[in-house]
Amino acid sequence: MLVRSGVNALGKVAEGRLGLAVLASSAAAATAARNGLVPESEEAASLHTAAGLVGGPTTTEGGARRSGQAASGAAEQSQWRKAYSSSVVGEQQATRRINLFTAINDALNIALEEDPKTLIFGEDVSFGGVFRCTSGLLEKHGRERVFNTPLCEQGIVGFAVGAAAVGHKPIVEIQFADYIFPAFDQIVNEAAKYRYRSGGMYSCGGLTIRTPCGAVGHGGHYHSQSPEAFFMHSPGLKVVMPSGPREAKGLLLSSIRDDNPVIFFEPKIMYRTAVDEVPMGDFTLPLGEAAVVREGTDITLVGWGTQVGVLKQAAEEVAENDGISCEVIDLQTILPWDVDTIANSVSKTGRLLVSHEAPMTGGVGAEIVSTISKECFLNLESPPTRVCGADTPFPLVWEPFYLPRQYRIVQEIKEQMNF
């Protein structure tokens, strides 16, 4: 069946996309640097060690670690990124090969350990959760900090907003993103506006909402949605979606530590199928920064979550068959989104394609295309396009036709190249 083979292929892609261990050649080192595991040179390595675990102001941090653009002389950017970077990759931080739910479990455990005011609650989290993201946490940290709630999303999130307002760091789980809508009022009207409406007196910055999202092959209307666009539209929130286990751990820890309410979407299809080398111990990735996961010169492909894997597959296909060189960007943070990385990339390539599972109309892709059209108008070789879910409710039997799959992206890339 088409859907199942897609899932398997996706799993394989997720597995193949690994950071690598220490490498000798400079090219390989640059790749490794991009994956954030190994600094580009020995000199930088000693600088990193000197800076300790916290990302310090060295010349090779930031830009070098996260995108391959350090090589292309993005000195101004790394200056700019210094202000934001909180990557804590030290000298060759040990990694282990784990899947998405284990990476999330790891991040949650670190969060609970470091701050006694951290709480984890939601439906069924105490036995480990339906996706096992919270396994073992009750046993380690006690039932006052890891507990179940009744089945009432609005009540759960409202309760969390209140707890955050008095200094706790609640990490709320909404069991499926499809069920987040009863809590929509609490998120958009309470959590997002708390700081603003009280003139800075109160806030619920400690709030993090984690929720599984995205297509899973057979989820149907209510187990497959990607509602990130609804929340991108709400100033005061941050919206994050990782594309793999490594990004998940780094971004989740950043989200928990960020002093703003964050909604953290986890692509549920990857919980078990996506495996990556994830740094052990403390590890964060900065919010608000996109990652260039594949360098290219002809067209920029932007996606997040599961779709990054699909874009990479499409990029490989057109590289092999048509010699088209695609630059693939993992947006990582949807709000605030990294305009500069994408604008720089599109200025280089001249073409933009954004892809997401959520329906096309009013999706996050619309915002990205609109902004980049303005920023990069004179650099564009073809109109920027979006390859997204169809404008229908998420169907059950027609999921393969609804989703923006690899072949549609390839087709669209070719159309842009031939414009």
Residues that bind another protein in the complex, under the rule CB under 8 A = 123-124, 127, 130, 148, 150-152, 154-155, 178-179, 181-182, 217-223, 360-361, 385-393, 395-398, 401-404, 408, 411-412
3-state SS class at 53: coil
- Please calculate the CA angle 147-220-228 and round it to the nearest 5 degrees: 65
The CB-of-158 to another protein minimum distance in angstroms stands at: 9
- H or E stretch at 112: helix 100-114
3-state SS class at 359: strand
Catalytic residues: 153, 223
Residue nearer to another protein on the CB measure, 115 or 124: 124
3-state SS class at 149: coil
Residue nearer to another protein on the CB measure, 196 or 398: 398
- Please calculate the CA angle 388-13-70 and round it to the nearest 5 degrees: 85
The CB-of-202 to another protein minimum distance in angstroms stands at: 24
293 exposed, middle or buried (CB, 10 Å; 0-12, 13-18, 19+)?
buried
The one-letter code for the residue type at 81 is: R
Distance of CA 285 to the CA centre of its chain: 10
Residue nearer to another protein on the CB measure, 61 or 266: 266
The CB-of-120 to another protein minimum distance in angstroms stands at: 16
The CB-of-275 to another protein minimum distance in angstroms stands at: 22
Residue nearer to another protein on the CB measure, 224 or 341: 224
Contacts of 79 (CB under 8 A, 6+ apart): none
Residue nearer to another protein on the CB measure, 56 or 383: 383
- b/e string for 47-75 if b means 16 or more Cβ within 10 A? bbeebeeebeebebbbbbbbbbbbbeebe
The CB-of-299 to another protein minimum distance in angstroms stands at: 14
Q: Distance between CA atoms of 288 and 356, rounded to whole angstroms? A: 18
